[in-house]
Amino acid sequence: MTERYIGLMSGTSLDGVDAVLLSMDEQGRPRVEADSFLAFPLAIRQQVLQLQPTGPNELDRAARLGNELARLYAEVVAQLLAEQQLPPSAITAIGCHGQTIRHAPHAGYTLQIGNHALLAELTGIDVIGDFRSRDVAAGGHGAPLVPAFHQHVFASDAENRVILNIGGISNLTRLANGAAVIGFDCGPGNMLLDAWCQRHTGASFDANGSWAASGRLHVPLLQQMLDEPFFRLPPPKSTGRDLFDLAWLQAQLAQQPDIPASDVQQTLLQLTAHSIADAITRHCPDTRSVYVCGGGALNAALMQALQQQLPQQVISSTAALGLPVHQVEAAAFAWLAWRFTHRLSANLPEVTGASGLRVLGALYPR
C-alpha cells in the first residue's frame, strides 16, 4: 500500500520551514506530491540565534522556543494538508528535523529543538524526530544524514554524481558506481553571506548575490579564511553555527585592515565557492556531474563563482533529476520517517563515522 509522509526541515539558514508531502509505494519508490513553506518571523530567528552561545536561562528559553517552533511546524502541516485537501489520517507520519541549536558530536550530543509531543497533539499525526542522536550514540557525527536519501533517489548506473546542498552550511554527497558513498559538510554555505548582508543592508539574504557582485574580492582575507583548520580535516566531518558564525567572521576581519562591506560580501561568496570546489577537487576528482540543491542554488553569482572554480565539472541543479532545489532536504526527512516506520536503518556509517547501521529517530504517537 502506498503511504504518505510529511517531511519538515528548518535548517541552519533560519529562513523558515520547508515542508514536503511524499508518497512511498510498496517498492520503496518516493514521489513528491506537494510542498509548502512558512517563513520564520524575525523574533523566532533572533531567539534561535540567541540560543547559539551559552547564556542565562537557556533551558527555559530553549523549551519555550521549542513550543513556538512546534506551533509553526503544525501551521505548515495544516497549510499543506489544506492545499491538498487531505485529512491528517491520510499521513502515516511526520518526519521533523527540528531546529539545531548545538552540534557537538565530539562531546557526544547534537541538539535539535521543537516540541514533538506538542506537534503530535496539534496535528493528530504521528511525529518522528531526533534523527541524529542515535548515530552520535554509535560514535558518528549524526550529520550529514541526507547522503543516504541522495543515494536512494539520485544514484545512477549511467554516471557518477556529486549532489551538493548549499543551505546555511554546504554539504556534498558523491555517488559513484561500485564505490562507497562519500558525504561530509564542506563548510559555510549561505550562513555567513546571510549574516553579513543582514547586518549591513537589513535584508535577510543577498538576492542573486547582487550585493556581493558589486564588491571586489579581498585575496588576503580569502586566503586567511581558507586557512581555517576545518577545511583541511578529512571526513567524516560536520559543522554548523557552533563554528561558522558572525563571531568567527569578526575574528577573521580583526586581522585585516578595514575592508568595504561589499568587498567582504564578495569575499564570503568566494569562500563558499572555493571551499566547496576544494572539497570536490580533493574528494571527488573524477566526478564531472554536479547537481546543486538548497537555497544557494538560486544565488546566480554564487553558481557562477563555483563554475569558475570547477571548469571541468558540469554544474546543474537537482531539478534536472526531478527534485526542485527547495524540496530535497524536506523530502529527505519524510523519507527518514518512512525508514523509521519500517524499522530500516538510515545512516551511512561510511559517511557519519558511526560504528554501524542504525534505525534513526524517536516516535511521538498521535
Ligand X SMILES: Nc1ncnc2c1ncn2[C@@H]1O[C@H](COP(=O)(O)OP(=O)(O)OP(=O)(O)O)[C@@H](O)[C@H]1O
Ligand Y SMILES: CC(=O)N[C@H]1[C@@H]2OC[C@@H](O2)[C@@H](O)[C@@H]1O[C@H](C)C(=O)O
The binding site consists of 11-18
Q: Which does 222 bind (CB under 5 to 8 A by kind): ligand X, ligand Y, none?
A: none
Q: How far apart are CA 130 and CA 110, in angstroms?
A: 9
Q: Work out how close the CB of 208 gets to ligand X at its nearest, in angstroms, rounded to a whole number.
A: 5
Question: How many beta carbons lie within 10 A of that of residue 87, not counting itself?
Answer: 9
Identify whether the C-beta of residue 184 lies closer than 8 Å to the C-beta of residue 145.
Answer: no
Of the pair 134, 218, the CB lying nearest ligand Y is at: 134
- Cα-Cα-Cα-Cα torsion 234, 235, 241, 243, nearest 10 degrees, comes to -20
Return the HEC string of 169-208: EEEEEEECCCCCCEEEEEEECCHHHHHHHHHHHCCCCCHH
- For position 215 contacting ligand X by CB under 6 A, the verdict is no
Specify the residue, 165 or 266, whose C-beta has the smaller distance to ligand Y: 165
> Under 8 Å CB-to-CB from 159, ≥6 apart: which residues?
288, 289
Select the binding partner of residue 135 from ligand X, ligand Y, none (C-beta < 5 to 8 A, by kind). none
End-to-end CA distance of the chain: 21
Q: Shortest Cβ distance from residue 322 to ligand Y (Å)?
A: 19
Which segments are annotated as binding site for ATP?
Answer: 11-18
Closer to ligand X at the Cβ: 275 or 299?
299
Which residue from 298, 305, 310, 348 is in contact with ligand X, where contact means CB under 6 A?
Answer: 298
Give CA–CA dist 344/341, Å, rounded.
8
Report whether 110 contacts 142 (CB < 8 A): yes
The residues in 170-199 that bind ligand X, with binding defined as CB under 6 A, are 190, 194
Residues 299-358 that bind ligand X (CB under 6 A): 299, 329
- Residues binding ligand Y (CB under 6 A): 11-12, 100, 103, 110, 143-146, 167-169, 171, 185, 238, 240, 329
Q: How many residues bind ligand X (CB under 6 A)?
A: 23
Residue type, 91: I
Q: Which of ligand X, ligand Y, none does 296 bind, CB closer than 5 to 8 A by kind?
A: ligand X
* 95 near ligand X, rule: CB under 6 A: no
Instruction: Read off the C-alpha cell for 333.
Output: 526527512
Q: Contact residues for ligand X (CB under 6 A)? A: 9, 11-13, 15, 18, 165, 167-169, 190, 194, 205-209, 294-296, 298-299, 329
